Amino acid sequence: MATSIGDDQLPSLDRSSTSPLYAQIREVLRRQIDSHILPPGAPLPTEDELQIRYGVSRSVVRQALGELAQLGLIHRQRGRGSIVAPLDQHRRRASQAGGLRQQVAAAGQQLRTEVISLDRDDPPAAAQQALGTTDTWRLERVRYVDDAAVIFMRTWLPRDLFPEVPATVLDGGSLHDWMRTTGVRPSGGPRHLQAVPADEEVATRLGVRPGVPLLLLEGVTADAVGRGLEWFLAWHGPHTVFDIDASVEPSAPAVTPQEGELENMRGLADEMRKLLERAGQQPQSR
């Protein structure tokens, strides 16, 4: 099987390092996968090629490939070598506030939510402005699709609206559904989407390497009268695709020459009327 990378793209091992050789080979290949030098479906170098390139035993190579397979990054095929695992894309509709469980279910997948922490905390400036208070809860959750961590969320909630937030209820459930049980009706609000590198905490929560590009969704959810119910940051894993319905702005109707001339005549008539009115108000000379 032909490999998609050459020896010049496989960095050398540091034999003076305390890191085992198999771990160094694993990380070399993982970097190739993360950077898409080895894209989904691409073949990896064979065991023989890796043995020759690095001057190591077959058991070292097999341990490195085995750990990549356990991480779900490659698929090993007996007698056919290894390939980079295809991407399991997670799709979201950017125009829809909430409803993630329904979107995931429509794709034949299962959504699970795990509460990481719930504490009283001062909100960021943007959250304070959106919620109109500094007295807030900070709720941190990880959302899983088919046991794969896809979203890490950090949400601020006003304590005057939600004096108690039952973490046990939210663990596995929907925040918006719980809000409705309190008599609050989430409506929607503005969203901002940007690409950001994963910091160490977010990378740990999503099981990716620090620095990997993620999609960060920032937004506020309000009720029908504009009262801020939540302000949140949601980091989406690198395999997330946001679907957006776009419409073309209608062009302004063209003005025909006849319409333009008519408008000019109306303007002149209006000016004449004003002049006549002013002339009629002036005293007549003797």
Angle, to 10 degrees, between the axis of helix 47-54 and the axis of helix 58-70? 120
Contact predicate 123/136, CB 8 Å: yes
Q: Is the pLDDT of residue 162 over 60?
A: yes
pLDDT digits (tens, 9 = 90+) for 76-131: 877 678 888 876 666 666 555 555 555 555 556 677 889 999 999 999 999 999 99
pLDDT of residue 1: 41
Q: Is the pLDDT of residue 286 over 60?
A: no
Confidence of residue 282 (pLDDT cuts 50, 70, 90): low
Report the DSSP beta bridge partners of residue 221. Answer: 230
Tell me the three state secondary structure of residue 16: coil
Q: Is the pLDDT of residue 144 over 80?
A: yes
**31-35, 58-62, 179-183, 279-283: least confident range:** 279-283
Share of the chain above pLDDT 90, in %: 42
**Rounded average pLDDT over 230-258:** 75
pTM: 0.61
CA count, 13 A, side-chain hemisphere, 76: 15
Contact predicate 195/211, CB 8 Å: no
Q: Higher confidence at residue 127 or residue 248?
A: 127
Q: Is the pLDDT of residue 41 over 60?
A: yes
pLDDT of residue 3: 47
Q: Is the pLDDT of residue 6 over 60?
A: no
Q: Is the pLDDT of residue 142 over 60?
A: yes
Query: What residues does each domain of the chain span?
Result: 7-84, 90-243
**Rounded average pLDDT over 219-230:** 94
Task: Give the residue carrying structure tokens 């979201």.
Answer: 92
Kindly write down the DSSP assignment for every residue of 81-102, as one continuous string: EEEEPPP--EEEETT-SS-HHH
**Rounded average pLDDT over 225-235:** 95
Contact predicate 178/170, CB 8 Å: yes
CATH number corresponding to 7-84: 1.10.10.10
**69-78, 83-92, 190-199, 269-278: least confident range:** 269-278
H helices, E strands: number in the chain? 9, 10
Contact predicate 232/216, CB 8 Å: no
User: For residue 4, with 0-12 CB atoms within 10 Å meaning exposed, 13-18 middle and 19 or more buried, which class applies?
Assistant: middle
pLDDT of residue 248: 78
pLDDT of residue 285: 46
Looking at the domain covering 90-243, what would its CATH class be? alpha beta
**Rounded average pLDDT over 249-255:** 63
* Cα–Cα distance measured from residue 89 to residue 134, given in angstroms and rounded to the nearest whole number: 37
pLDDT of residue 2: 43
